[in-house]
């Protein structure tokens, strides 16, 4: 009997509580693989980037029995590791595949928009036999049984699939440099009041938490498959894991957080990265003591360089009220302070855990005053001496079914948005990066994601800093590097040890205090046997404890 074959085509997803753009791989990829394994399919995996790079892969897909494409972006961003599939590409793939059954899964079912600042349009996607709605894995299971392709969310049914589908990560083109997004909960406790006006997370229903045992089994399976990088990211607010969903802002239960992180550590004893994503600043402000204890539990178990993403959205009280947002500016500021107190200390120069801020433009009630309030808030943070890892600024992308779909200010303040973004990058991001990653900071295990001169790389992590290295380095090579300069959203770094005798002069010029002329003098006098010979030519130099003369 001929073996049934299936392919998962990863078009990447980005949602308020889930990231599946490389190096991240989303939980739904693994549960879908689990369904196919259970039904005895021989399952392959390809990414949309692989299809772009080699259109011949479409022939491979066309020879299979079934293709499950996963796609959809509801919170657009800028990406380096991969680019999510566009609606045009999804149509083209559907049209190009004539032999297999084709189903589409992911947040594409909510609708599609080519970018922020535009409404997402919902409708049928031609070229596919079905669009899976609800739980992708459960919907696929029903579809393969000849039923409606709509799946209910049921962890008892889905958790075994997350285990049996874990091995699919080995087929990722970046493996083993893959960040496994782990789901801890679905739905948001703020469903009591309808949630934030623009958010699609309420589409997933009331909050439900996965058990620690189920998460541990999945992590164990992923670890056995070779995973070493994990993020507890598929949840709207990690701090309320295991808390009572009866309240809109439940109090964290630190013991549950400690149990969760300890179980991940035990299940993956060789892990290299353990980070988090979403944290509600409103939770921290309303329950400061319990939140601090929960944050302390995270910091005791995670790996440094972590980021707690705050969905602040705006500092304008009017907009906050109109859109049922999570916290007022003073509450967000308090949350920033508490996260700094818990996670601001450094390990090998890197802060353990810092907040990240998200701003959304185009919400109902927005005026010119909104942008002034946003800038005033950021000025306050900067003046306080507190640390913020990054500020994300995006335009609203409203989806049908959310209040923001009909109540918004899309397109009303384009010039103000542009000037606000430019001001933040220049006046806030640059000095903040200089605080968070001062010259001399060592970035361990930097992964090169873009080859050229300069090459660009990032660490494996939740929101890793982008580092430009003035050398051509092989794609996906891994190295340690030292920060030597700062941009508005990135740093410049040199490999360590700094190879004084072999680095090109253009790279030597990036050593603080060297510049082009001194770099030329150093290059012309090489090789040096030791620091004494170098100082005789160039004088004292910063970072000389990192120099190598071999």
Q: Please report the pLDDT score of residue 143 as a whole number.
A: 97
Number of domains observed in the structure of the chain: 3
Average pLDDT, the chain: 94
Residues 510 and 536 in one domain: yes
Q: Which of 123-127, 167-171, 539-543 has the highest mean pLDDT?
A: 167-171
Domain end among 141, 175, 209: 175
Q: Please report the pLDDT score of residue 31 as a whole number.
A: 98
Each residue's pLDDT tens digit, 320-369? 999 999 999 999 999 999 999 999 999 989 999 999 999 999 999 999 99
Residue 544 lies in a domain: yes
Residues 153 and 201 in one domain: no
d(CA 344, CA 353): 6
Domain end among 126, 154, 175: 175
Residue 397 lies in a domain: no
Mean pLDDT within 27-51: 97
Residues 168 and 205 in one domain: no
Confidence of residue 78 (pLDDT cuts 50, 70, 90): confident
Confidence of residue 1 (pLDDT cuts 50, 70, 90): low
Residues 164 and 238 in one domain: no
Residue 111 lies in a domain: yes
Residue 465 lies in a domain: yes
Residues 420 and 448 in one domain: no
Q: Is the pLDDT of residue 546 over 60?
A: yes
CA-nearest of 218, 188, 181 to 203 is 188
Residue 471 lies in a domain: yes
Residues 230 and 279 in one domain: yes
Mean pLDDT within 44-61: 95
Q: Is the pLDDT of residue 15 over 90?
A: no
Mean pLDDT within 64-92: 92
Each residue's pLDDT tens digit, 209-246? 999 999 999 999 999 999 999 999 889 999 999 998 88
Residue 279 lies in a domain: yes
Residues 242 and 341 in one domain: yes
- For 328, the domain range is 180-374+407-436
Residues 86 and 114 in one domain: yes
Residue 380 lies in a domain: no
Residues 236 and 162 in one domain: no
Output 88-96 pairs: Cβ under 8 A, ≥24 positions apart.
89/11, 89/48, 89/52, 90/11, 90/125, 90/127, 91/125, 91/126, 91/127, 93/9, 93/51, 93/58, 93/61, 93/69, 93/127, 94/125, 94/126, 94/127, 94/128, 95/126, 95/127, 96/58, 96/62
CATH at residue 149: 3.40.50.2300
Residues 138 and 274 in one domain: no
Each residue's pLDDT tens digit, 301-311? 999 999 999 99
Q: Is the pLDDT of residue 2 over 70?
A: no
Q: Please report the pLDDT score of residue 200 as a whole number.
A: 85
Residues 263 and 298 in one domain: yes
Determine if the pTM surpasses 0.85. yes
CA-nearest of 470, 487, 377 to 425 is 487
Domain end among 130, 155, 175: 175
Structure tokens at 26: 């989303």
Residues 539 and 503 in one domain: yes
């Amino acid at each position: 009997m001929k073996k049934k074959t299936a392919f998962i085509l990863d078009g990447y997803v980005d949602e308020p509580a889930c990231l599946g753009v490389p190096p991240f791989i989303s939980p739904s990829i693994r549960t879908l693989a689990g369904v196919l394994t259970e039904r005895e399919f021989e399952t392959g995996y390809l990414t949309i980037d692989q299809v772009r790079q080699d259109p011949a892969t479409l022939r491979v897909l066309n020879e299979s029995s079934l293709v499950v494409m996963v796609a959809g972006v509801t919170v657009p961003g800028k990406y380096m590791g991969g680019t999510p599939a566009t609606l045009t590409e999804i149509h083209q793939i559907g049209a190009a595949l004539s032999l297999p059954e084709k189903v589409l899964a992911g947040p594409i079912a909510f609708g599609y928009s080519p970018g922020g600042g535009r409404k997402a349009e919902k409708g049928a996607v031609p070229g596919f036999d079905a669009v899976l709605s609800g739980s992708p894995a459960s919907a696929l299971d029903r579809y393969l049984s000849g039923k409606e392709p709509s799946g209910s969310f049921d962890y008892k049914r889905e958790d075994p699939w997350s285990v049996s589908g874990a091995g699919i990560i080995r087929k990722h083109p970046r493996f083993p440099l893959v960040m496994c997004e782990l789901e801890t909960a679905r739905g948001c406790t703020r469903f009591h009041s309808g949630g934030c006006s623009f958010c699609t997370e309420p589409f997933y229903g009331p909050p439900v938490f996965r058990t620690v045992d189920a998460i541990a089994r999945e992590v164990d399976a992923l670890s056995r498959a070779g995973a070493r990088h994990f993020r507890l990211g598929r949840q709207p607010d990690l701090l309320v894991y295991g808390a009572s969903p009866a309240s809109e802002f439940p109090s964290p239960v630190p013991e549950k957080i400690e149990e969760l992180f300890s179980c991940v550590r035990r299940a993956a004893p060789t892990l290299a990265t353990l980070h988090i994503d979403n944290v509600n600043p409103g939770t921290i402000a309303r329950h400061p003591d319990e939140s601090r204890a929960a944050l302390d539990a995270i910091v005791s178990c995670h790996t440094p360089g972590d980021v707690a993403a705050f969905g602040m959205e705006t500092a304008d009280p009017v907009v906050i009220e109109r859109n049922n947002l999570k916290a007022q500016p003073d509450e967000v500021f308090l949350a920033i302070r508490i996260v700094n107190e818990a996670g601001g200390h450094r390990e090998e120069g890197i802060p353990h855990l810092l907040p990240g801020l998200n701003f959304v433009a185009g919400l109902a009630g927005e005026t010119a005053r909104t942008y002034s309030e946003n800038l005033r808030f950021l000025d306050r943070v900067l003046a306080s001496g507190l640390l913020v890892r990054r500020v994300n600024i995006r335009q609203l992308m409203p989806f049908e079914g959310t209040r923001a779909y009909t109540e918004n200010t899309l397109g009303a303040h384009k010039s103000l948005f542009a000037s606000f973004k430019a001001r933040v990058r220049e006046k806030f991001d640059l000095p903040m990066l200089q605080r968070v990653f001062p010259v001399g900071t060592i970035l361990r295990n930097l992964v090169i994601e873009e080859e050229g001169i300069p090459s660009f790389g990032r660490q494996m992590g939740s929101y890793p800093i982008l580092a430009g290295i003035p050398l051509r380095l092989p794609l996906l090579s891994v190295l340690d590097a030292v920060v030597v300069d700062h941009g508005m959203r990135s740093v410049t770094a040199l490999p360590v040890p700094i190879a004084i005798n072999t680095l090109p002069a253009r790279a030597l010029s990036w050593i603080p205090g060297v510049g082009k002329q001194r770099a030329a003098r150093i290059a012309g006098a090489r090789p040096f046997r030791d620091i004494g010979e170098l100082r005789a030519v160039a004088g004292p130099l910063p970072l000389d404890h990192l120099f190598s003369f071999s």
